């Protein structure tokens, strides 16, 4: 059985689409925990899925209109 990278995926309750993802990496454990905690405080649903599932997720377009121009965009690593 091959090792699959895992990713935390945040989704909106209202539309069910993804708003953020962060790879579960031991080298960035603190940053990952902070991001997941931020999502939980904001009321998003957070699940731990394979990175491929996160790549294939439908991304929320509802919040795009309100995004600040200086917001960060997450990029998931290639398989």
Q: What's the Cα-to-Cα distance from 1 to each of 4, 8, 60, 66, rounded to whole Å?
A: 9, 21, 33, 42
Asked whether residue 58 is assigned to any structural domain, the reply reads yes
pLDDT at 58: 92
Q: What is the pLDDT along the chain (79 residues), one digit of tens a residue?
A: 456 799 999 999 888 899 999 999 999 999 999 999 999 999 999 999 999 999 999 998 886 665 544 445 555 545 4
Range(s) of the domain holding residue 18: 6-63
Q: Please check whether residue 17 lies inside any domain of the structure.
A: yes
Is residue 74, in this structure, part of any structural domain at all?
no
In a domain, 70, yes or no: no
| Sheet of 18-23, strands arranged across | 18-23, 6-11, 45-50
CA 38 – CA 50 distance, rounded (Å): 21
C-alpha 67/C-alpha 30 separation (Å) is 25
Q: Is residue 13 part of a domain?
A: yes
User: What is this structure's pTM?
Assistant: 0.74
pLDDT at 4: 78
Q: How many domains does the chain have?
A: 1
Span 14-24, pLDDT tens digits = 888 999 999 99
57 located within any domain: yes
């Amino acid at each position: 059985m091959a090792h699959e990278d895992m990713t935390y995926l945040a989704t909106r309750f209202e539309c069910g689409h993804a708003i953020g993802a962060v790879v579960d990496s031991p080298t960035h454990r603190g940053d990952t925990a902070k991001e997941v905690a931020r999502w939980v405080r904001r009321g998003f649903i957070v699940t731990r899925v394979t990175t491929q599932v996160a790549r294939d997720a439908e991304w929320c377009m509802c919040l795009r209109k309100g995004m600040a121009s200086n917001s960060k965009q997450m990029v998931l690593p290639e398989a």
